[in-house]
Amino acid sequence: MTSRTDVLISEVGPRDGLQSVAAVMPTAAKRAWIDALHAAGLREIEVGSFVPARLLPQMADVAEVVRHALGLPGWTVMALVPNTRGAEAALAAGVHKLTLPVSASQAHSLANVRKTREQMVDEVRAVVRLRDQSAPGVKVEAAISTAFGCTLQGAVAEDEVIRLAEQLTQAGADETGLSDTTGMANPAQVRRLFTRLRAAIGAHAGAAHLHNTRGLGLANCLAAYDVGVRTFDASLGGLGGCPYAPGASGNVVTEDLVFMFEAMGVRTGIDLARLMAARDALRAGLPGEAIYGMTPEAGLPKGFVPASALGR
């Protein structure tokens, strides 16, 4: 496998995936799963969220999981934090990157973090200030959730999404990406909104976090790639969905996304065989939980050579 890559696949299963299931994966199983993801060549992983255990018991061991992930070389360990208290705990644990969820939908913002959009912009500003004082090397990402529509509010105006992205950049966020939290996006909308995002905030434009709720996940990823996006969130086995957005389900399947890019000649740096083997660790940690993916079910085409194996 070549070490050169054309896109970054950011694995969010240990956070976004695990928060959406009722079962709690044992800590040892999380460590084994993370080891398998690292062995497959993933180089950015969202290992959990620093939230009260009474709200998300699936994340009660997040600090221990971070410590384990930090022991594996050559990748970015990130965690979701909803506020400065979570950021303090995450920075103390040693994460490389913080992600804050900032919803474009006022209704979803209140349901998800119990704050308005404006209050969350202030929260990002406070987290950036905390980062600057205590851990200046840590990146801060603001992920705009419900950017393509909301099951609580309905349509979300694109002008409001772009205005929010500009405010977050002004607040000091290193990256601001767009999330299709409720799986309502279509390729034309993705192309248009990411084009506007890149025009508005330039190099601060971040990841595409897209869901496959209505079967358009890969098509939407390709639309984002076509307009210059090079970082994509995905979840092994397609686990994921926001518990505060009714009807939201199904992140883009990491295995399918990697196969699509590698078949196109776009290097991910990820070993597909090892990536699909990582499903065994996921199944062992969540026995009986449904996981998804067309590529693992169909297998790789005969004679298939991934772009990352060719190098250039």
- Nearest 10 degrees: CA dihedral of 298, 253, 270, 267? 90
Active-site annotation holds for 150 = no
3-state helix, strand, coil in the chain (%, to 5): 45, 15, 35
Interatomic CA distance for residues 120 and 127, integer angstroms? 10
Interatomic CA distance for residues 190 and 227, integer angstroms? 9
How many CA atoms lie within 13 Å of 45's alpha carbon, on the beta-carbon side? 30
Q: Give backbone dihedrals phi and psi of 261, rounded to 5 degrees, phi first.
A: -65, -45
Which residue in the list 173, 242, 245, 252 is annotated as catalytic? Answer: 242
Cα(first)–Cα(last) distance of the chain, in Å?
Answer: 11
As beta bridge partners, residue 150 has: 154
State the chain's maximal CA–CA distance in angstroms: 54
Q: Write out the H or E segment, with its range, that includes residue 5.
A: none
Interatomic CA distance for residues 153 and 241, integer angstroms? 17
Per DSSP, the residues of 135-152 read -TTSEEEEEEETTT-BTT
Catalytic residues: 242
